[in-house]
Structure 1
Amino acid sequence: MSLKKGLRIGRIAERTGLSISAIRFYEEQGLVQSERNATGQRVFQHSDIRKLSFVMIAQNLGFSLREIAQALARLPDNRAPTLKDWEKLAGQFETVLDQRINALQTLREKLTGCIGCGCLSLDRCALYNADDRAARLGTGPRYLLGDQPNQA
């Protein structure tokens, strides 16, 4: 990393709103890296503010630290990430987010009916799923997972 000057951990905490212990934890997880200055204090790059902000946002969206670490590993480590670097990383998350949004919308649309029926593998009632045909498609709430009654 070779820092001539950077930000001490307290300043990073002020800028991100994270506690110092959280920043140390993220550093232990490999999400950011610091160097030690002449007095032994952790010193971070200015770009680590964006990385840590990304970590907080991604966690709030339900991504695991492993997924976040894999994404951050794709950023260049020999320079501060550019807007293009961040756009590429965001695009990778966008696909996953779109899938999650679609799944949540389907769940919202169908959940009440399925719960009302008393069996999460039923479309609306036993008339639509005689002999629990949906169970042949696999385990779990088949119609909420995207299967159609005509597939059973």
Structure 2
Amino acid sequence: MPAPVAAHKTALSVGEVAKRCDIPVSTLHFYESRGLIKSWRNNSNHRRYSRHVLRRIAVIKVAQRTGIALTDIKQALSVLPEDGAPSAAQWQAMSQQWQTLLDKKIADLTLLQQQLDSCIGCGCLSLQDCPLRNPGDYLAAASSADAAE
């Protein structure tokens, strides 16, 4: 069996990661500043990334495309190891965190889809009656609670 290759020999530069993930370098820096990914500096003070970061970035991009907030993405990624590729069980644990969130988003979008035709162009501009802007007239309830204080 061949000896494992040291991480520094398989590390990717910031440009290589950006190109392989089809994102700007600035996005990598942003993800890193938010704690979503990690890098280290080589002897020349250049950023280097482990290859497993490619999978993390793919997950981040898919999650963002579905409307999951970066704070929720970070929380889900926290169950994955930062220094290596996750196991299938770890991926499963991460995906379970998003199931409820995605179910709610699907329900909200379905409701929007069902009510959108009646709202577009209705011209009511009524905050009391609008099922999209103020479902169940929750703004009135909030105003009543504020007035009671």
Scaled by the length of structure 2, what TM-score is found? 0.71
Q: Is 1:4 matched with 2:8?
A: yes
Task: List aligned pairs for 1:50-89, cutoff 5 A.
Answer: 50-89=55-94
**CA deviation map 1:51-109 (0-9, x unaligned):** 11111111111122222112112212343212322222122212211211112112211
Q: Which moved more, 1:113-122 or 1:91-100?
A: 113-122
Q: Is 1:45 matched with 2:50?
A: yes
* Paired residues of 1:33 and 1:44 also in contact (CA < 8 A): yes
CA distance 1:18–1:107, shift in 2 (3 Å): same
Q: Is 1:106 matched with 2:102?
A: no
* Paired residues of 1:3 and 1:35 also in contact (CA < 8 A): no
* Paired residues of 1:75 and 1:85 also in contact (CA < 8 A): yes
- Gapped runs of 5+ residues in structure 1? 125-133, 141-152
Which residue does 1:90 correspond to in 2? Answer: 95
CA distance 1:46–1:114, shift in 2 (3 Å): same
Percentage identity across aligned positions?
31
RMSD between aligned alpha carbons? 2.6
* Paired residues of 1:113 and 1:123 also in contact (CA < 8 A): no
- Gapped runs of 5+ residues in structure 2? 1-5, 141-149
In the TM superposition, structure 1's runs of 4+ consecutive aligned residues that sit over 4 Å from their partners are 114-117, 119-124
